Structure 1
């Protein structure tokens, strides 16, 4: 089965031969591909909506994998039992929803060794949750597909996660820049993505700055004193981000 580049990157992050749960599995393409390729040994495909749930059941049956993939209808992590899987994947949702699913199902994370998460927006919310819950952000990937940019976050449960995370989010100096990459900026940009940024990384942040500039231009149309203060605050924020990205570009090998 041919996966999209996004789903293939997620599949590649699975622990070889693992038992995993794909939450919000849609048509169960990821579990089917992971089993057929030998990347995973068994899977749970969880889906809360009736249409995708039925589509997932058909996909698994047509692939002859009913003995390997259990398709279950339910909300978030309620489709699994503690200790049942080693890896959980959640993709294609907002970061706030991913955090909500993990928080509400935290008791189901017993025995889980890895989380592979792909938020469509709000990546910083997911990174902050992982940091607060003592999961080590072991890898980050960014890619563009069909005009959209995706970030994939891989986090591992480790005894030394707190120490490793402190090192990972330690403030960094950018050569020739008056700005620094502090923890808040690293949560937004990704501590690993910003270490050796690819062009798609800069494309994303150019787009984010453009969005801020549009908001600022709308605020500037107001005569309210509070709006002028907000507009000035956003101007300074935009200039800081521009400097950070410019210095990061110049520091690229």
Structure 2
């Protein structure tokens, strides 16, 4: 078992077991997997921090000692501030009210960015705006967990010269979540099929991967059947779904 896999198991249960500071907090399987990808002693910016659960856990376990918890609205920011104060991490986790990567300041020396629990299109917009405004350089590791539109997010990464170094598919409360870890590297490229499934996920072909795409196959076959019965057949859409069905069958074979 790798060090990262061991950390994932530890952070999945540590809050259930309890500690003097964290006995009431449970890190979800989804966020536990995100946490396992954060490098040791990273300087983290957690964008859309959701009560600062992730940075609180990472500081509590000693994996990091500095983080920004960015929120775009006052209500979530207030919740993050309360969580940080509750566990005594004022000064180690800095809450900031800002739109996306504008939460990052040069003196933070951020080297890792996590964006978890948002749509893939919104995540892409946050990264695009961060580039345009100078908050995203080429130095940060990106750890992204989109709730949907994963393929579009991978397209953004490859268009902007990021290499996908790792991926993980996790099932949490009956839903599937993909986690994408990327670093800037100009020389890499991917096929359309790799961007669709995830280049690393295709290699791993975990049991969760198989489960997810078996369900996707059934869904697409039902959609295809309905489209083929339509009075005015949308031929372009039918061709697109036929291609995806063929890809899924090939990957599952």
TM tier relative to shorter chain: 0.7 to 0.9
Conserved in 2, the CA contact under 8 Å of 1:19 and 1:86?
yes
Give the match's secondary structure for 2:32: helix
Counterpart-to-counterpart distance in 2, 1:64 and 1:218: 56
1:222 equivalent to 2:225? Answer no
Counterpart-to-counterpart distance in 2, 1:246 and 1:124: 18
Conserved in 2, the CA contact under 8 Å of 1:89 and 1:117?
yes
Correspondence for 2:4: none
Cα gap change, 1:9 to 1:230, in 2 (>3 Å): same
Q: How big is the alpha-carbon RMSD for the aligned residues of Structure 1 and Structure 2?
A: 1.9
Cα gap change, 1:41 to 1:97, in 2 (>3 Å): same
Counterpart-to-counterpart distance in 1, 2:240 and 2:186: 33
Counterpart-to-counterpart distance in 1, 2:57 and 2:230: 53
Correspondence for 1:46: 70
Task: Give a deviation string over 1:207-230, Cα, whole Å, max 9, x none.
Answer: 222222232233233222xx1635
Conserved in 2, the CA contact under 8 Å of 1:220 and 1:231?
no
- The unaligned stretches of length 5 or more in structure 2 are 1-21
1:8 equivalent to 2:35? Answer no
Match of 1:76 among 88, 95, 100: 100
Conserved in 1, the CA contact under 8 Å of 2:227 and 2:234?
yes
Deviation at 1:246, TM superposition (A): 3.7
Match of 2:111 among 83, 86, 94: 86
Cα gap change, 1:136 to 1:230, in 2 (>3 Å): closer
Scaled by the length of structure 2, what TM-score is found?
Answer: 0.83
Counterpart-to-counterpart distance in 2, 1:232 and 1:45: 44
Pick which of 88-97 and 2-11 moved more: 2-11
